Amino acid sequence: MPDLVLAWLCVALAVYILLSGLDDFWVDLQWFRRKLRRGGNAGFPAGSALEGPIAVWVACWQESDVLERMLEHNLSAIADNDYRFFIGVYPNDEATVAAANRAANSDPRVLVAEVPHDGPTSKADCLNWIYQRMLVYEEETGRRHRLVVIHDAEDLIHPRSFAMIRRGVAAGYDMVQIPVLALPTPVWELTHGLYCDDFAESQTKDLATRVEMGGFLPGCGVGTGFRREALDALAVADSNRLFDPGSLTEDYDNGLRLFRNGSRQVFLDLCWDGRTPVATREYFPRTLMAAIRQRSRWITGNSLQAWERFGWGRGLRRRWVQAYFFWRDRKGLWGAPLGLAANVLVAAGVFDLLPGENKRVWEQVQSFSWFEPLLWINSALLAERTAVRIWTVSRIYGWGFALLAPLRTAWGNCVNTAACIMALRAWARWRFLRVPLRWVKTEHAYPNREALAPHRRRLGEILVSNGYCPAEVVEHALACKSEERLGEYLLEHGLISEEALCEALGLQQALPVARLDRASLRGDLTRCLPERLQREHSLIVLEAREGELHVAAAKPPTEALLEEVRRCTRLAVRFWLAPAGDILRARATLQSRS
């Protein structure tokens, strides 16, 4: 009898896999049909963009390690002239408060919004207080923000994403989602590679197809733009609270509430700027436990909390379509453990790992005449799913990385099963013991300078938009030289001054420009770095203060140069840019004094 029960459980598992596979195949089929019918929605009409200031909201808890670098890069990279960052911080997070205040003191486009109570609470709660700070700012200045964009403290914002959001809102949408992708990591990092796979597939295929089929758009948490009137309507409906403070996934919750209010939503198809995808990029958790914690929060918010609050779509437009996507969002609760069980059973069957007496189970399973055709159908569906996943991953990360996606899928079943267990445990503690659900913090990292390079504004664009060089001159220079040698070509032909090029590079690289006063330079500081290093890289030491060594360079420093300089001093190194001629003259002055 136990053998027969186990055999029926294997058959039931195969039937569930069939139903789940058909579900995924149906969405893939809709995606194929959509791609054949039209090219997507990324190209909103040029010139039809909503004017007015943008408010960028960043909710922070223990983000002092990445916040300033994120702001420095994005403030220089974003190709938009009318936006402000509102940084939400908690009073008991002194390091992040200090980092936010330093950024605000150095750039007027950064404002600090301090939550009036200690944290962490939830990202939703922090965003609500950022909203209140924005309202105060608007009263003080008389400027109303037309758009709100949500980002995190580790985000690489694409230079053109705000322009796309402006065009999307001008086209009549109230919620516009820019694709979100993981930054590439080595193939042996299976945990982070799982994020690369998941987001490559969801951002290429799933979310846009979901909206096309009539489903509501769950926000991605970052790169999400909102028309101000749509957010104000949410605030009016709920005591001036835009976000539910109890929600662990406020992006999913708000996407659903906006849909319920009749707001129009759109997910922008993934498009390319040269070889760089137009998307918000970031590093996701790279260790197993960090990934389990983050995914448990997603499961708790998207599946359990949404199930309790919204059921299966009662009161929503196209209720049965919403119920279908609720099923897809929630089936991970049982699908991940069942997928792991299926992997174990397949491995046992393939490698003949079952003990001798339990081999009778397979004999009983095979006695069902329809079981073998069922396995063939499931195998075909798995092959189709795997092919689609590999193709979507290959577009972004290349074929070498994509071909390991099946291995990462198996690893993902283990990670997601552990996350489901953690989410159900936290949910049960909240339901029965009233232990509050808290903001689950994951460690964030920010890319080094070389990894940031593809996400900066192009030098030619900066030269033209800031009036350093006429557009026709830049176009002619780019026809002769690559973007990397554009500045060198313009200098050689006398088409731009060293000072103008230095200022443009400073804007592009998020580096301050130094004005060298030869009279105030100190010769004793030259001993802080080797003479050879300063001569070969055209460097000059400006000053040493407050634990920092300030160094001027003629070119933006590479990561290799940064490491070499750091090995020569115990002080934190802060680089500036200065015209090469000014550095040469300043070095000659110091040498003449010695």
pLDDT along the chain (594 residues), means of 10: 61 82 93 77 63 94 90 89 95 94 92 91 91 92 94 92 93 94 92 95 94 93 94 82 85 92 92 86 91 90 88 88 93 82 64 51 62 84 94 94 94 91 86 72 62 73 81 82 81 84 82 77 79 86 82 86 85 85 84 73
Closest-CA residue to 442 (of 99, 192, 207): 192
Length of the chain: 594
CB 138 within 8 A of CB 53: no
- What's at 495, amino acid-wise? L
Question: Considering the entire predicted model, what is its pTM?
Answer: 0.83
pLDDT value of position 46: 61
Is 483 in a helix, a strand, or coil?
Answer: helix
Q: Which CATH architecture has domain 1-456?
A: Alpha-Beta Complex (3.90)
pLDDT value of position 173: 94
CATH class of 512-594: alpha beta
For the residues of 228-256, what is the DSSP string, one character each? HHHHHHHHHHTTT-SS-TT-S-HHHHHHH
Q: What is the 3-state secondary structure (H, E, C) of 281-320?
A: EECCCCCHHHHHHHHHHHHHHHHHHHHHHHCCCCCCCCHH
Is 369 in a helix, a strand, or coil?
Answer: coil
CB 115 within 8 A of CB 96: no
Q: Return all residues near 72 (Cβ < 8 A) that are at least 6 apart.
A: 103, 510
pLDDT value of position 351: 46
Cα angle at 414 between 408 and 420, to 5 degrees?
125
**Segments making up each domain of the chain, as ranges:** 1-456, 458-510, 512-594
Q: Strand runs (DSSP E) across 356-510, as ranges?
A: none
Return the sign of the alpha-carbon dihedral for residues 180, 175, 38, 205.
Answer: positive
